[in-house]
Amino acid sequence: MIGLPAQSELAGQTRPPRAWPVAVIAGVAVAAFLVGRLAWHGWDPSAFICAGDVWCDPLATPPGLTVKRAASGYDGQFYYRIALAPSQTGETYCGIRLDNPRYRFQRIGYPAVCHVLSFGRPQLVPWAMIAANWAWIVLIAWVAAKMAIRLGARPIFGLLLAAWPGLLFSLSRCMTETQAIALGMAGLLFFLSNRKLAAALVLSAAALTRETALVIVAGIAIVEFCRAVRQKQLAPFARLTFWAIPFAAWAVWQLAVWRIFGGLPHGGGSNVISPVPFAGLSAVFTEGFQIALTPQGMHGLSGSTAHALMAIYWSAHLCLLIGLLILAVAAVRRSRTDWSIKLACLALICVGCFLRKTTFIEGPESFERQFIEMAVLGSLVIIGAPGRARKIALAAVIAAWFVTAPYAVLLP
């Protein structure tokens, strides 16, 4: 049954397990990371936005925004631009030009929240973007701990989700992944608690933050329909009513973007799928070790010891990701995790196998963000499987977090 938690490691405990200590641990750790990154960048919160003069005019941008010279910057600058004034849909506003307005505005959730938190004041927007992502990671930790308890595991395993290194990169660049993951996990928790309307509404917000959240909704809808058929209910399609809400909300917003900009969003998913499976992953993995382990490769492709070390770091993170996903696939049959989560995880893994090398070209932060949803859902599958797998995964992810944090602090 959906609403009944499993019992395993928690059996025989005198006190009921609580999720809030895990959230506190995550909050303190991420706060320490934020202090380190802010200190490294001279306490300039706009360093997280990573604005470049290719898209931002230093003479016209709001005061306090640091714009790098001869640089294209990172995606956070576009979400910063929308957070300044979501109602301003022009290509250029406050000296910031959107690279792809239709695509950027389809992910309205995160900048809208930041606009509300900053009260529309430009000087507060960078702080709001940082604070919002910190709060979302804390929520991820709390929800993951609650789900671990439901699966019969200790709440500390919630850190398997909250400590995923990709969240640090999202936090360091003011990206949308943390909010989308937090809302997606909260929606799953509502669903597992049989609060379907709340789940549908929260998942709608997740879909407006990052459209990949709809994979979770699709997994829930398929499982709900199959359960209705198996139970021989007269109207199995009636169980899909709630799960039509997130798709409807997303479709309505797509139509709004089409009406504003004269076309449907495009650009984020173009030219990223390869017809050959594992082509992108194998190319990145092979090239990384070639750079790191051969003098010719290091001289020809990196030109410095620092880049050789980066190649080792990159390949190690790729090994962590692949290892986690292998554990998740191996645990699918015996995991207590709901089948909606399993289906969503397997679907995202299948898509990930066909991503092109260009998807990961920007370094570890790029491919870890691309795989963040499947890593999080795979972690839930692992948490639900009894045995050593979840302990091994937790130890590996926490170790990776401590290795990644210094690197993410020093990101330009």
- Give residue limits of the domains in the chain: 20-40+139-409
For 51, the enclosing helix (H) or strand (E) is: strand 51-52
- Binned at pLDDT 50, 70 and 90, residue 316 comes out as confident
What pLDDT was estimated at residue 371?
Answer: 82
Provide the percentage of residues in the chain whose pLDDT is more than 70.
82
What pLDDT was estimated at residue 252?
Answer: 96
From 19, 14, 129, 32, select the one nearest 80 (Cα to Cα): 129
> Which residue type occupies 143?
V
Q: What is the mean pLDDT of residues 173-190?
A: 96
What pLDDT was estimated at residue 10?
Answer: 62
Model confidence at 315: pLDDT above 50: yes
Q: What is the mean pLDDT of residues 148-164?
A: 95
For 291, the enclosing helix (H) or strand (E) is: helix 279-293
Phi-psi region at 407: left, alpha or beta (left = phi > 0; alpha = psi -120 to 50): alpha
How far is 280 from 270, CA to CA, in rounded Å?
A: 15
Q: What is the mean pLDDT of residues 27-39?
A: 98
- Binned at pLDDT 50, 70 and 90, residue 232 comes out as confident
Contact 157, 393 (CB under 8 A): no
3-state secondary structure the chain: CCCCCCCCCCCCCCCCCCCHHHHHHHHHHHHHHHHHHHHHCCCCHHHHCCEECCCECCCCCCCCCCEECCCCCCCHHHHHHHHHCCCCCCCEECCEECCCHHHHHHCCHHHHHHHHHCCCCHHHHHHHHHHHHHHHHHHHHHHHHHHHHHCCCCHHHHHHHHCCHHHHHHHHCCCCHHHHHHHHHHHHHHHHCCCHHHHHHHHHHHHHHCHHHHHHHHHHHHHHHHHHHHCCCCCHHHHHHHHHHHHHHHHHHHHHHHHHHCCCCCCCCCCCECCCCCHHHHHHHHHHHHHHHCHHHHHHHHCCHHHHHHHHHHHHHHHHHHHHHHHHHHHCCCCCCCHHHHHHHHHHHHHHCCECHHHHCCCHHHHHHHCHHHHHHHHHHHHCCCCCHHHHHHHHHHHHHHHHHHHHHCCC
Q: What is the mean pLDDT of residues 129-150?
A: 97
Please state which of the ranges 50-64, 210-224, 312-326 shows the lowest mean pLDDT.
312-326
What pLDDT was estimated at residue 228?
Answer: 86
What pLDDT was estimated at residue 329?
Answer: 93
Three-state SS at 323: helix
pTM score, whole prediction? 0.90
Q: What is the mean pLDDT of residues 186-211?
A: 96
- Binned at pLDDT 50, 70 and 90, residue 270 comes out as very low
What pLDDT was estimated at residue 307?
Answer: 57
* CA 173 from centroid of its chain's CA atoms: 12
CA dihedral sign of residues 296, 302, 304, 307 = negative
CA dihedral 194, 20, 129, 105 (to 10 degrees): -10
* CA 301 from centroid of its chain's CA atoms: 30
What pLDDT was estimated at residue 362?
Answer: 58
Three-state SS at 157: helix
* 3-state helix vs strand vs coil in the chain, percent to 5: 65, 5, 30
Q: Tell me the per-residue pLDDT of 396-410, one tens digit each, with 9 for 90 and over.
A: 999 999 988 998 898
**What are the structure tokens assigned to 304, written together?**
């410095």
How far is 136 from 26, CA to CA, in rounded Å?
A: 11
